[in-house]
Amino acid sequence: MDQESRLSAFLKDRRKRLDPAAFGFSGRRRTPGLRREEVAQRANISTTWYTWLEQGRGGAPSPRVLESLADALMLTDAEREHLFLVGIGQPPKARSASSDGVTPRLQRFLDALTSIPATIATPQWDIIAWNDAARVALTDYAAVPKDERNILRRMFLDHATREAQEDWESVARFLVATFRAETARMGEDDRAGQLIAELSTKSLEFAEMWADNDVQTVGEGVKRIRHPLVGPIAFEFSSFTVDGRPDLKLVTYNPAGPDDAEKVRRLCQTIRAAI
């Protein structure tokens, strides 16, 4: 089956799965699902063009048309990716989803890492989930207002966060470079624009680093901090994309050596003792 035939079959299948009444369409129907003209109307494209796509003779649609069709057909993220792959042979550009939180299953995974700090961050470095080890070893995000749980803001504007870094400038440059790369990958949204404007105004150091145009992926490396209770701790950090949520990254901080692991263990004990 060629590419146009695969696209045709997928569009027909998803169109027939939709309930017309759920979209305010009425009238007697001989076949299930929406009519072609109704899908075209929802996607804001011509009925003729959509009909050609379903008939496998419309040629390769543009990414904009595929995005409109994905919304019109109420596709899931996995279905949206498949639509792009059968439509133009490449996955869609990643997009930010809601950053209100993570699934209970993912939170349980974080909590299972009892001695390894772990966080979930958006492309803009907003922290939306963490475990107890991260709370005691890195930052008590539960005690930080939601709007201020952003690592970039804290690194450039919070004195305590800055002082906790063994090599603040290297960490700051790393964050700015990864932020630039993620902003380009996801597309600059309102949140990213607001952060750039705020930090450029409030921090000359950020403005200078942003102007350098450095780009870097999160990947893995070593993070060293000065903890107020147990002193220096070194972590080996690794970053992973969350499956089904390409806008989110899981970052784990594994204690680099036995002494570091013991310090994290002692910090975690304070939580268990309080329960």
Residue 233 included in any domain: yes
Number of residues in the chain? 275
Instruction: Mark whether 179 and 133 lie in a shared domain.
Output: yes
The pLDDT assigned to 100 comes to 60
Instruction: Mark whether 76 and 125 lie in a shared domain.
Output: no
The pLDDT assigned to 138 comes to 96
Supply angle C-alpha 149, 152, 155, rounded to 5.
95
Taking the model in full, what pTM does it have? 0.68
Residue 93 included in any domain: no
Instruction: Mark whether 126 and 214 lie in a shared domain.
Output: yes
How many structural domains does the chain have?
2
Given 38, 56, 88, the domain boundary residue is 88
Residue 20 included in any domain: yes
Containing 234, the helix (H) or strand (E) segment is strand 231-242
- Gap between the Cα atoms of 141 and 213, Å rounded: 30
Instruction: Mark whether 143 and 253 lie in a shared domain.
Output: yes
Instruction: Mark whether 19 and 76 lie in a shared domain.
Output: yes
Instruction: Mark whether 159 and 32 lie in a shared domain.
Output: no
Mean pLDDT by 10 residues, the chain (275 residues): 84 90 78 90 92 85 91 85 89 61 85 94 92 95 91 96 96 94 77 92 96 89 95 96 83 97 92 62
Name the residue range of residue 82's domain: 3-88
- Gap between the Cα atoms of 87 and 8, Å rounded: 9
Instruction: Mark whether 83 and 113 lie in a shared domain.
Output: no
User: What are the pLDDT digits (tens) for 208-258?
Assistant: 999 998 998 888 999 999 999 999 999 999 999 887 777 889 999 999 999
